[in-house]
C-alpha cells in the first residue's frame, strides 16, 4: 500500500499575461489503502491535479510524492508507473480497432527472458486475470470496444490501468459519462478494488453523490484551492464553507439523505446525480 501526497502543488498553464493558475498551493494526502474524494465544479482544477499525480501537468511549485519519492522522479526505476490514471471517457483510452484482450495485453508489462510461447501464454493468463478482476467475462476478450456498453468499456479501461499493478489509482470522473443505471456497479467495483487490492485511490468527481458513496475523506477544490476537507460524512453532512454548501444545494434531494455504508443495488439504481 502506498501514500500519495501533494505538497503545496501549484500548476500553471501558459506564459506571461496569459498565465492560468489552475492549481494553487494544494496540499493533500491519500493515505495508504484509502479512497479520498476530490470534488469541485467544472474548471476548479481537478483534472489538472490528477495529471500532476502522474507527472503530466506543468508543476510550477511544490511536489507530488509517492511514499516520499517524487513521482516521475529520476530515481524511479524503469517499468510501468505505480500511479495510474483512469479518465472519464473510456473511448479515448481504448483503440476502437483493437479487441478488448489486445488492449489489456498491450498494457501488461513485458517479462524479460521468457520464450515467446511462454510469454504469450503468461500474457494471456494475465489478461484473463485482469478481466475477471473487473468482472468482465474473459470470453469477451475478442470483442471490440464498439460492441461493449459504456460501463463495460470503463471496466476495460480500469483493467488496463491495473495491468501496471499500481499501488495508487487516480480516477478522474470515471462514472460521469456512464448511464446512471450502471454507475453504481462501477462504484462498487472501485470499492472492491480498494478493499481487495489495498489500492489507494484519489476519486475525483463533480458529483457529490458518487464521492459520498466511495470516499472516506473528501477535499473540496474551488478555483484551484482546497477550501474544505475532512471526513466525507462531516464535510457533506455539515459543510463549513459556502462553496461546499452551494455544491450540495445543486444535488437533487434523494441524494442528500444520510450517508450509508451499504451497497448500491446496481440492478435497480434509479439515482440521477448530475
Ligand atoms: P476540472 O477538471 O476541475 O474541470 P481542469 O483541471 O480541467 O478543471 O481545469 C482547471 C483550469 O485550468 C481551467 O481554467 C482550465 O481552463 C485550465 N486548463 C486546463 N488544462 C489546460 C491547458 N492544457 N492549457 C491551459 N489551460 C488549461
Ligand atoms: Mg476534469
pTM for the full model? 0.90
Q: Which of 11, 15, 19, 45 to mutate to test the pocket of ligand 1 (most atoms within 8 A of CB)?
A: 45
User: Whose CA is closest to 168, among 242, 80, 238?
Assistant: 80
> What's the whole-number mean pLDDT along residues 24-28?
98
Closest CA to ligand 1's atom 23: 13
* d(CA 43, ligand 1 centre) in Å: 6
Q: In terms of Cα–Cα distance, which of 234, 269, 272 is closest to 255?
A: 272
pLDDT tens digits, one per residue of 59-69: 999 999 999 99
Q: Which of 13, 85, 226, 227 to mutate to test the pocket of ligand 1 (most atoms within 8 A of CB)?
A: 13
pLDDT digit string (tens) for 195-245?
A: 999 999 999 999 999 999 999 999 999 999 999 999 999 999 999 999 999
All structural domains of the chain, each given as residue ranges with its CATH number in brackets, are: 4-82+166-266 (3.40.50.300), 94-165 (no CATH)
Alpha carbon 180 to chain centroid distance? Answer: 18
Nearest CA to ligand 1 atom 22: 13
Give the residue whose CA is nearest to atom 21 of ligand 1: 13
Reference 244, options 259, 232, 262; nearest CA is 232
Exposure string for 159-198, b = 16+ CB within 10 A, e = fewer: bbbbbbebbbbbbbbbbbbbeeebbbbbbbbbbebbeebe
51 CA to centre of ligand 2 in angstroms: 10
Residue with cell 469477451: 140
How many A from CA of 8 to the centre of ligand 2?
20
What is the pLDDT of the chain when averaged over all its residues?
A: 89
Amino acid at each position: 500500500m502506498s501514500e500519495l501526497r501533494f505538497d503545496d502543488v501549484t500548476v500553471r498553464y501558459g506564459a506571461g499575461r496569459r498565465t492560468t493558475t489552475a492549481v494553487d498551493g494544494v496540499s493533500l494526502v491519500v493515505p495508504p489503502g484509502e479512497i479520498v474524494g476530490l470534488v469541485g465544479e467544472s474548471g476548479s482544477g481537478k483534472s489538472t491535479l490528477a495529471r500532476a499525480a502522474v507527472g503530466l501537468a506543468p508543476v510550477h511549485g511544490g511536489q507530488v510524492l509517492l511514499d516520499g519519492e517524487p513521482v516521475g522522479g529520476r530515481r524511479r526505476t524503469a517499468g510501468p508507473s505505480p500511479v495510474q490514471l483512469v479518465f472519464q471517457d473510456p473511448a479515448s483510452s481504448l483503440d476502437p480497432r483493437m479487441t478488448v484482450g489486445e488492449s489489456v495485453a498491450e498494457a501488461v508489462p513485458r517479462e524479460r527472458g521468457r520464450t515467446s510461447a511462454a510469454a504469450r501464454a503468461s500474457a494471456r493468463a494475465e489478461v484473463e486475470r485482469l478481466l475477471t478482476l473487473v468482472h468482465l467475462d474473459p470470453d469477451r476478450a475478442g470483442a471490440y470496444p464498439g460492441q461493449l456498453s459504456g460501463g463495460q468499456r470503463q471496466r476495460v479501461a480500469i483493467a488496463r490501468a491495473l495491468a501496471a499493478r499500481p499501488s495508487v489509482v487516480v480516477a478522474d470522473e470515471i462514472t460521469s459519462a456512464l448511464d446512471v443505471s450502471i454507475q453504481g456497479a462501477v462504484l462498487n467495483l472501485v470499492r472492491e478494488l480498494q478493499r481487495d487490492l489495498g489500492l489507494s485511490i484519489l476519486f475525483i468527481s463533480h458529483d457529490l453523490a458518487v464521492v459520498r458513496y466511495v470516499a472516506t475523506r473528501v477535499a473540496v477544490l474551488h478555483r484551484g484551492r482546497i477550501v474544505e476537507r475532512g471526513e466525507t460524512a462531516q464535510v457533506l453532512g455539515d459543510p463549513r464553507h459556502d462553496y461546499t454548501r452551494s455544491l450540495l444545494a445543486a444535488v437533487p434531494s434523494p441524494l442528500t439523505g444520510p450517508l450509508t455504508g451499504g451497497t448500491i443495488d446496481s440492478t435497480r439504481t434509479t439515482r440521477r446525480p448530475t
